[in-house]
Structure 1
Amino acid sequence: MSDPSPSLHLRQRLRRGRDRLATALITAGGIGVVAALLAIGVFLVVEVLPLFWPAPADTGADVSWQALWLPQSYEGYDAPQHRWQPTVTSAEERPQYGMTPLVWGTLKAAAWALVIAVPLALGAAIHSALFMSRRLRSRIKPTLELMEALPGVVIGFIAGLVLAPWVERHLAGALAMVVLLPPGVLIAGWGWTRLPAPLRRGLPLGWAGLWLIPWLLVLVTAALALAPWLEAGWFGGDLRGWLETRLGLEYASRNAVIVGLAMGFAVMPSIYALAEDALSGVPASLAEGAQALGATRWQTLWQVMLPAASPGVFSAVMIGAGRAVGETMIVLMASGNAALMTLSPFDGMRSMAASIAIELPEAALGGTHYRLLLLAALALFVFTFLVNTLAEVVRVRLRRRYRRLGGAP
């Protein structure tokens, strides 16, 4: 009878060899990612530094921190202005390198995206994690998470060529939907609490994501039907003209609201997925203990569940903000790309990422314009790095909190 020990020993050696190879590949991949990040940062810093040397790359270009971030005096303007106009059409004109409008446009687009995405994403995360039935949650959650894979260029295309013209044609209808939908949903929730017990059992709270859809369609239809009377009665039959004459707000077809809707749609899945995981990971014993002590569902949510999951929710919002700031194609296709500094939600803007995508191919290699675009890239790189680092630190804090509470993250 043959001794099986040599073949067993060989299989063990092969297994250990495969484990070591896998470990080496994973380690090399991690080191490669860190090295790539460091290389990108070093490259950007090296390319940007010559901007502030005594002899700039472009002749006649005065680049300083004051010129980049403070308003400057330009011919034809009474007051100092923030202006970004790096290309000129004649030798008499000077390039205008104020980067403040680009930073403003970036933050304005991200702010509107978060204003739209955060309430919807957190509301969906709270409902699916705490109230939705398991059967419906197992189908809804993967669907919402798959939305994150939608390319930004597709969302930007739809926003710029479909959504923006529709809102411009039906401005009063869009306003009516904004006015009617939030109170309509609250009325639906109040009406559900007033239903008889048999009807409430037929419309369980865990399936509200489905039985609310017909009601939302009714609200949208009512808003569009009432829009002409609303516009005629309150705005003299011309809402766009009323905004311009009464409030001094000019309506651009591609504006901050359109960008916010499109970018909010793109950012919402990532915020939802992370916030939902954080809420689902809170130990169920906390909610059960609160309800056993007499707390309502609302009190349990606000005073127990959300505080316990707050680090994860904060991390989700921060990661969403990082993506919103770095988004390129949606802002490029839906914002109008006008370097304006206004608070109006109906004006366009120009973000740093969009400027890099548009202007970098035409910028002279090594010139002032080229290096300023890389300065914008460096600012985006640093912001994204800091946001992701902060989100990771908060996530680690969340895991420690769960461990102390005796639950699983």
Structure 2
Amino acid sequence: MIPPRASVAHQPLRQLKNRVATSLITAGGIGVLLAILAIGVFLFWETLPLLARDETLAFAKLSPLAWGTLKAALAAMLFALPIALGAAMYSALFMSARLRSRIKPALEMMEAIPGVVVGFIAGLILAPWVERNLASTLVLLVWLPLSAGLAGLLWHLLAARWRQRLPLSWAGLWLLPWLASMVLLALWLTPQMEELFLGGDLRRLLERHWGLDYATRNALIVGIAMGFAVIPSIYALAEDALADVPTALMEGAQALGASRWQALWKVALPAAGPGIFSAVMIGAGRAVGETMIVLMVSGNTALLSASPFEGMRSMAAAIAIELPETSPGELTYHYLILAALVLFIFTFLVNTLAEVVRLRIRRRYHKAGQR
């Protein structure tokens, strides 16, 4: 059948549109790369006067800021990773489709919460509450994961008819009353145990015996607040990676005698490894570059301390506070530009490493699947 003449006549116009679109996309990509390169060149150029001064204390003065940045990011990741990855594994592989269609968008919408709002709530409400109830906070951080594991153990010990009434696919709902009761139990018992065994004041005991001074805004508060802000991004990427694992792999593993948990650890997690690794690295990159939460919750004290009860000062927070008040050419200005350059290089290297490792893992699994 001979094609219509109209379609033949429109072919040059269609090819022209495709070429224009391709050129615009290519130009946009090259423009982004050039903009990133220009930022790095500008930061390096602005740090040259500082190096020309032969200032040997430049990196020594930046070390508390670098330590504070890493400390805040580590605290956030320790809080966010277990929750985000656990939620991703459960919702992708165990949760019912009906419940997942409602829970997943709600968790992803949490990413739209501005960091300044999270920092404001953490500094105004969370920090004073933790200061008054330090022992209860530490107990809750340990007791809640243990109580979730205890709930799983009790579920396995239940009779079959009770397990049918409390299916694992709906555990996201029936666990809520259990966890709420565990929170109330911990809040009721902890003050009594603190009074009985710790003299009624854990903060005074920490300062007297271990020399740990408690600050109202510290790394513990930063970890909780910034971890809450990082959870949605890690969860969304990890959940998508796990949901993309072919169901035939899981069904094949279970057909060979593996349990659902064995199929998860031996099949699903290795197959989704590149996506999960990217999710973790992206979350770490946001934690390193977060400004407002650290600015409002950390106390902004440049300390080289590993204590979670003392404050810190990150490079991003120092830039946000001091750069508007300095004029170009001053020594402080060049110090802040050097901090920005270090932060830029660190973020660039982390993202590059994440992409290289992700591609290597993907190629390795692709070659293994072809054998």
TM-score, structure 2 normalization: 0.93
Residues in 2 aligned to 1:10 and 1:152: alpha-carbon distance in whole angstroms: 54
Which protein is bigger by CA-based radius of gyration?
1
User: Displacement of 1:403 after TM fit?
Assistant: 4.5
What percent of counterpart residues are identical?
Answer: 65
Q: Which moved more, 1:359-368 or 1:111-120?
A: 359-368
Q: 1:63 aligns with which of 51, 55, 59?
A: 55
User: Displacement of 1:405 after TM fit?
Assistant: 6.3
Residue of structure 2 in register with 1:48 after alignment? 47
Tell me if the contact between 2:274 and 2:362 (Cα under 8 Å) persists in the aligned partners.
Answer: no
Residues in 2 aligned to 1:393 and 1:140: alpha-carbon distance in whole angstroms: 32
Residue of structure 2 in register with 1:213 after alignment? 176
Residues in 1 aligned to 2:350 and 2:101: alpha-carbon distance in whole angstroms: 30
Residues in 2 aligned to 1:231 and 1:299: alpha-carbon distance in whole angstroms: 41
User: Displacement of 1:191 after TM fit?
Assistant: 0.8
Tell me if the contact between 1:326 and 1:353 (Cα under 8 Å) persists in the aligned partners.
Answer: yes
Residues in 2 aligned to 1:300 and 1:9: alpha-carbon distance in whole angstroms: 54
Residue of structure 1 in register with 2:238 after alignment? 275
- Residue 284 of structure 1 pairs with residue 247 of structure 2: yes
Alignment of 1:74-85 (within 5 A): none
Q: Which moved more, 1:164-173 or 1:353-362?
A: 164-173
Residue of structure 2 in register with 1:389 after alignment? 352
Residue of structure 2 in register with 1:233 after alignment? 196
Residues in 2 aligned to 1:142 and 1:402: alpha-carbon distance in whole angstroms: 30
Q: 2:161 aligns with which of 198, 220, 230?
A: 198
Residue of structure 2 in register with 1:117 after alignment? 80
Q: 1:305 aligns with which of 268, 277, 297?
A: 268
SS of 1:132's equivalent?
A: coil
Residue deviations 1:272-330, cap 9 Å, x none?
12222222223333322322222222222222322232232222211111111111111
Residue of structure 2 in register with 1:335 after alignment? 298
Residues in 1 aligned to 2:17 and 2:123: alpha-carbon distance in whole angstroms: 51
Q: Which amino acid aligns with 2:45?
A: V
Q: 1:159 aligns with which of 117, 122, 130?
A: 122
SS of 1:99's equivalent?
A: helix
Tell me if the contact between 1:316 and 1:391 (Cα under 8 Å) persists in the aligned partners.
Answer: no
Q: Which amino acid aligns with 2:25?
A: I
User: Displacement of 1:35 after TM fit?
Assistant: 0.9
- Residue 376 of structure 1 pairs with residue 343 of structure 2: no
Q: Which amino acid aligns with 1:28?
A: A
User: Displacement of 1:209 after TM fit?
Assistant: 1.0
Residue deviations 1:46-102, cap 9 Å, x none?
11122111xx3xxxxx612xx2345xxxxxxxxxxxxxxxxxxxxxxxxxxx11100
Over 3 Å counting, the alpha-carbon distance change for 1:341 and 1:209 in structure 2 is same
Residue of structure 2 in register with 1:345 after alignment? 308
Residues in 2 aligned to 1:69 and 1:32: alpha-carbon distance in whole angstroms: 33
Residue of structure 1 in register with 2:282 after alignment? 319
Higher RCO, Cα 8 Å, sep 6+: 2
SS of 1:122's equivalent?
A: helix
Tell me if the contact between 2:127 and 2:221 (Cα under 8 Å) persists in the aligned partners.
Answer: yes
